[in-house]
Amino acid sequence: MMTPEEALRRFWGYESFKPLQREAAQAALEGRDSLVVLPTGGGKSLCYQLPAAMGRGLALVVSPLIALMDDQVASAREAGLAADALHSNLDAARRLEAYRRLSRGETAILYVSPERLLMEGLLEDVAARLVLIAVDEAHCVSQWGHEFRTEYRRLSEVLERAPKAARMALTATATPEVQEDICSQLRLRSPRRLVGHPDRPNLVYRAFPRRDQLVQILEVARRNPGSGGIVYAQTRKDVERIAAGLKRAGVSCAPYHAGLPAEDRRRAQDDFVNERLDVAVATIAFGMGIDRPDVRYVVHANTPRSVEHYQQESGRAGRDGGSAECVLLFAASDLAAHRALALKDGPLAPERRQALERQLREIGRYAVSPVCRHRLLAEHFGAAYQGDTLQQGVPGCGACDICLGETKSLPSEEALLTAKKILSAAWRTGGRFGAGYVVNLLMGKAEERMKRHGHDALQVFGLLKEAGEPAVRSWTDQLIVQGFLEVAEEGDYPLLRITGAGQALCRDEGTVRLGVPAPQAPRARKKSKVLERGGSPGPALDEELFERLRLLRRRIAEKLGVPPYVVFHDSALAEMAALKPGTPEALRQVKGVGDRKIERYGADFLEVITGKR
């Protein structure tokens, strides 16, 4: 009987597992339930595909990502597995053929949407063959999670109909509280908990105050010329404006949001996935079904709704293990917009309102705290951060704006004095004006309304003029996030008011931390689109050969109607371009080249490598 290692080598072309993959697959092979929490790029799909690859029975995968299912099926088939999907986007002929293969016992892996599973008596038909039911994106079952879906709550009743099948709940983003809720809601039976470290060391995290949104986004795009990128914006109007601005600057991009015609959305997504388009500018409706591994940057033009959303959306970057950067442009007004949108249809249930307010506080804290971003993300998900290195004698991750010296903390005494000046301005204006008005007051901008109220005669007028408007706006946002100021809605106008904590700080009761962008440009990545090889010893990578291999891959992918990464990942092409294997046996030693791909593509790639094509 085939061992897990033999199956890994034969179907996927790897010699060793990523952390916790083998343990997750072994739990399923033993008939044991499991909770699997692995970061994006950690290889969750292999955890449930491996038991099916070993011929142990049918693996049923519940996924809410219809846009991704067909790509997952294509990838599984390319590896040599008999895979199908059942979801609402299938036409009648494809659905009928999938049912035929399933009834004949040919299917090894079946992807199904939760709605489809709940609607039909599908589980009863296959229960006898089931070895595993895997629930992907399992955080959707938790009301404490960031993407709660009511249909996921009903999955437990369906799972009970196949009591002999092992259950596997998988997610990339789950706090300890959400992990507990997943186990409870899916009724996992004494599950094995396999929780990987959430840190993504290949990502450079940056969070800056939003000043000139389009200029800041262009800076990121120009640091990564010709590379795949995603820009997330909060509204459809923002998406259209940013996409138009990037196009004018010569960036290959397209907008994506729910207001576009379906054909335009499909074309934008297909062009991005198939590398005909460098950048997608989108609302958060985009990306969950995207598995393009070579995305080199993700920019949040607006603050996301939670740390979990940010971890998942920024996690679209660097899935291939190569370096990538994630940039968040923050303004406190984004948090107010999220709150207003959540309450648009009426009050939330108390527990949902509590969860919303906690999520907004946590993402605000991440965005403005002058603390290592990798550390903040790791600790948010309940993990100790152990990635500190010494940067010029100072502990740090070496991969975020704080540890790279791009954002500086004010000394404690200076931070306290600065905070008191801003709090005093909010206090002296009586909490009857917005943040922009208070900033103008501190900058000494005597607009007509300010003169009418006599505020240009206040002692705080122009008190922070020398600091510059971007810094004052950023500090005001930081004080809001830390609870010393609050934005109160009164009619159509958000008003800036001092809180009890802010009054106490003015009496020297409490501490405050303020950061400010340092006067230096973020470090640029190397211009080469070729994956870094981690400094590992070995022959140098032939970039010209790498590009020829990418061209061959694209032609094959277009012919098959699949994304290029389904054929081979960039990492496999990079290794080919470095090692230059000349025989099928040598090509089989490249990571990510399994038996099925040797049979289908080996001759073509060897011809390019050896110069015969």
pLDDT score at 152: 86
Residue 12: HSE in the Cβ half-sphere, 13 Å Cα cutoff: 20
10 and 154 assigned to the same domain: yes
368 and 475 assigned to the same domain: no
Q: For the chain, how many structural domains are there in total?
A: 4
456 and 505 assigned to the same domain: yes
Q: Is 126 within the bounds of a domain?
A: yes
Phi/psi for 63 (5° steps) reads -140, 135
349 and 301 assigned to the same domain: yes
Q: Is 498 within the bounds of a domain?
A: yes
Q: Is the separation of the CB atoms in 368 and 399 below 8 Å?
A: no
271 and 382 assigned to the same domain: yes
The residue out of 161, 195, 229 marking a domain boundary is 195
Spatial separation of the C-alpha atoms in residues 188 and 194, rounded to whole Å: 13
pLDDT score at 344: 86
C-alpha distances out from residue 220 to 271, 440, 552, Å: 21, 29, 29
Q: Is 605 within the bounds of a domain?
A: yes
557 and 467 assigned to the same domain: no
pLDDT score at 384: 87
Ranges of H-type helices in 172-261: 176-185, 213-223, 236-248
Q: Is 530 within the bounds of a domain?
A: no
Q: Is 225 within the bounds of a domain?
A: yes
pLDDT score at 123: 82
Q: Is the separation of the CB atoms in 10 and 595 below 8 Å?
A: yes
30 and 169 assigned to the same domain: yes
DSSP code string of 391-458: ETTEEE-SSBTTTTTSEEEPPHHHHHHHHHHHHHHHHHTTT-S-HHHHHHHHHT---HHHHHTTGGGS
The residue out of 140, 165, 195 marking a domain boundary is 195
The residue out of 516, 534, 553 marking a domain boundary is 516
Q: Is 528 within the bounds of a domain?
A: no
pTM over 0.75? The answer is yes
* pLDDT tens sequence across 113-163: 888 888 767 888 888 889 999 999 999 898 766 677 788 888 998 898 899
* Burial (Cβ within 10 Å: 0-12, 13-18, ≥19) of residue 63: buried
pLDDT score at 391: 47
DSSP label at 523?
P
Q: Give the largest CA-CA distance in the chain.
A: 86
Phi/psi for 344 (5° steps) reads -60, -35
CATH of the domain at 160: 3.40.50.300
Q: Is 37 within the bounds of a domain?
A: yes
pLDDT score at 287: 53
171 and 232 assigned to the same domain: no
Q: Is 529 within the bounds of a domain?
A: no
Ranges of H-type helices in 30-107: 44-53, 66-79, 92-103
pLDDT score at 490: 72
19 and 74 assigned to the same domain: yes
pLDDT score at 200: 92
399 and 421 assigned to the same domain: no
117 and 139 assigned to the same domain: yes
Spatial separation of the C-alpha atoms in residues 513 and 411, rounded to whole Å: 8
The whole domain housing 432 covers 412-516
* pLDDT tens sequence across 344-390: 888 888 888 888 888 999 999 999 988 899 999 999 998 888 766 54
301 Cβ partners below 8 Å, 6+ apart? 210, 213, 217, 231, 232, 233, 234, 238, 242, 329
CATH of the domain at 495: 1.10.10.10
Average pLDDT, consecutive stretches of 10 residues, N- to C-terminus, the chain (613 residues): 91 94 96 94 92 93 84 91 91 91 94 85 83 93 74 87 94 90 95 94 94 95 94 94 97 93 89 92 70 91 93 90 94 90 87 88 91 92 75 69 91 96 96 94 93 94 93 92 87 86 96 84 49 54 93 94 90 94 95 93 95 79
Spatial separation of the C-alpha atoms in residues 180 and 113, rounded to whole Å: 23
Q: Which two tokens stand for residue 78?
A: 């390319």
pLDDT score at 554: 93
Spatial separation of the C-alpha atoms in residues 131 and 30, rounded to whole Å: 10
48 and 64 assigned to the same domain: yes
